[in-house]
Amino acid sequence: MALIVQKFGGTSVGTVERIEQVADKVKKFREAGDDLVVVLSAMSGETNRLIDLAKQISDQPVPRELDVIVSTGEQVTIALLAMALMKRGVPAVSYTGNQVRILTDSAHNKARILQIDDQKIRCDLKAGKVVVVAGFQGVDEQGNITTLGRGGSDTTGVALAAALKADECQIYTDVDGVYTTDPRVVSQAQRLDKITFEEMLEMASLGSKVLQIRAVEFAGKYSVPLRVLHSFQEGPGTLITIDEEESMEQPIISGIAFNRDEAKLTIRGVPDTPGVAFKILGPISAANIEVDMIVQNVSHDNTTDFTFTVHRNDYDKAHKVLATTAQELNAREVVGDTNIAKVSIVGVGMRSHAGVASRMFEALAKESINIQMISTSEIKVSVVIEEKYLELAVRALHTAFELDAPARQGE
């Protein structure tokens, strides 16, 4: 008999009918003998609706009060599911974050879980109940309701699984797993049976939005086996694990991630002397702007060009800061480009294979796609290219690294 934490997202509990369907599903698991803790999101769109209500009163709602409001979304779905389960003869009980006692810090709207009291849950499980817990919310030392940031129910699920030492944390959502890349861009994309935490973190931070990044970090830290599955279709989903299998069939690259959220800034003709990188990026970070990729060119005549990328939302701000720096440093000019995209290949197989980067560059060269910037880590190679070539690049790489699904018969 296993202890499983199951988390259902907003679309899976978006209507009363869906909640009834979830209840059917949970009942099946229960009948198979598993102990179940179910974590729910609010009905899809509900959290946005609640935030919108708050914003009608105030542009910048008081964070504490906003948490009181948005935490109600999950309170509705947990009670509905508990009722639907009981209607099916399955004993169940619902708890808010406060009732379980999911203790968090006091950072309203983005609180971190500090501790979970598992007493009550264990007691209920022993009594044969399915325990339904509100995702996304907790309570601080002072008894204030807190929330964990958008998408935070994933983190609740993983944290509960860690606290209860569950055998698996299953994240049910509207896709049937983690894919080699976005199927909307590459129709040949395939569901992965397995992916490592590290790879998943890279994929998530690079724009593949199946799971909240914090949930993946949490799961990796506490070694919680995590599985992404479709709420209403049968299938094994994708298991996110620690172990890197050494197998011959293991592909070198697990996935291709991409995002269009970045912009590029270059400061030209800066003196190539110690401290210059700090003089350029110091004011950027002081302005609370996060920098992603950084490239400094080889210098000519003791001056050099320095390029970095920031989130597109920060572009204007960063441009202004950099213009000031350019004056101070007597730099030649500042140029920027918002029509860029980042494409990355990700895979732990890179550790044991040479030539992965050059294979990537070859595939892009064949399509005449110019690479503007490159950065690498142990399990990732990222390039910045012109945005209009993004989809072409992703498709070319997907094929080059043999990730395309085999054509079905008759196709």
Residues marked as binding for ATP? 7-10, 173-174, 179, 184, 209-210
**What separation in angstroms does the CA of 139 have from each of 37, 72, 103, 117?**
19, 13, 5, 12
In the complex, the smallest distance separating the C-beta of residue 46 from Mg ion, rounded to whole angstroms, is: 11
220 touches Mg ion by CB under 5 A: no
Which entry of ligand ASP, Mg ion, none binds 14, CB below 5 to 8 A by partner kind? none
Q: Which DSSP string corresponds to 153-174?
A: HHHHHHHHHHHHT-SEEEEEES
Which entry of ligand ASP, Mg ion, none binds 170, CB below 5 to 8 A by partner kind? none
Give the strand pairing for 35-40 and 113-116: unpaired
135 touches ligand ASP by CB under 6 A: yes
| Dihedral angle, C-alpha 18, 20, 24, 30, nearest 10 ° | 110
138 touches ligand ASP by CB under 6 A: no
42 touches ligand ASP by CB under 6 A: yes
Q: How far apart are CA 83 and CA 335, in angstroms?
A: 60
Which entry of Mg ion, ligand ASP, none binds 208, CB below 5 to 8 A by partner kind? none
**What separation in angstroms does the CA of 131 have from each of 79, 94, 95, 163?**
11, 6, 8, 14
Binding mask 86-125 for ligand ASP (x = CB under 6 A): ----------------------------------------
- CB nearer to ligand ASP: give 148 or 281: 148
Residues annotated in a binding site for substrate: 47, 74
Give the strand pairing for 130-134 and 92-95: parallel
Binding mask 193-212 for ligand ASP (x = CB under 6 A): --------------------
**Phi-psi label, residue 157: left if phi above 0, alpha if psi -120 to 50, beta otherwise:** alpha
Pick the binder of Mg ion from 9, 73, 237, 349 (CB under 5 A).
9
150 touches ligand ASP by CB under 6 A: yes
Which entry of Mg ion, ligand ASP, none binds 152, CB below 5 to 8 A by partner kind? ligand ASP
Sequence-distant (6+) residues with CB within 8 A of 35 are 1, 2, 3, 4, 125
Pick the binder of ligand ASP from 104, 153, 180, 181 (CB under 6 A).
153
Total residues binding ligand ASP (CB under 6 A): 13
223: Cα separation from own chain's centroid = 17
In the complex, the smallest distance separating the C-beta of residue 378 from ligand ASP, rounded to whole angstroms, is: 30
Binding mask 60-79 for ligand ASP (x = CB under 6 A): -------------x------
- CB nearer to Mg ion: give 70 or 322: 70
In the complex, the smallest distance separating the C-beta of residue 42 from ligand ASP, rounded to whole angstroms, is: 4
Q: What is the CB-side half-sphere exposure of residue 227 using CA atoms within 13 A?
A: 16
- CB nearer to ligand ASP: give 95 or 136: 136
**Phi-psi label, residue 274: left if phi above 0, alpha if psi -120 to 50, beta otherwise:** beta
Stretch that binds Mg ion, among 3-11, 175-183, 246-254, 299-307 (CB under 5 A): 3-11
Which entry of Mg ion, ligand ASP, none binds 237, CB below 5 to 8 A by partner kind? none
Q: What is the CB-side half-sphere exposure of residue 126 using CA atoms within 13 A?
A: 7
Contact criterion met (CB below 8 Å) for 97 and 156:
yes
In the complex, the smallest distance separating the C-beta of residue 69 from ligand ASP, rounded to whole angstroms, is: 12
- CB nearer to ligand ASP: give 157 or 349: 157
255 touches Mg ion by CB under 5 A: no
- CB nearer to ligand ASP: give 41 or 303: 41
Contact criterion met (CB below 8 Å) for 67 and 54:
no
359: Cα separation from own chain's centroid = 27
10 touches ligand ASP by CB under 6 A: yes
- In the sheet that holds 145-147, the strands lie side by side as 113-116, 102-104, 137-139, 145-147
Which entry of ligand ASP, Mg ion, none binds 349, CB below 5 to 8 A by partner kind? none
135 touches Mg ion by CB under 5 A: no
3-state secondary structure of 380: strand
In the complex, the smallest distance separating the C-beta of residue 279 from ligand ASP, rounded to whole angstroms, is: 39
Say which residue the tokens 């400094």 belong to. 296
Contact criterion met (CB below 8 Å) for 290 and 314:
yes
Residues that bind Mg ion (CB under 5 A): 9, 151
Residues that bind ligand ASP (CB under 6 A): 9-10, 41-42, 47, 73, 135-136, 150-154
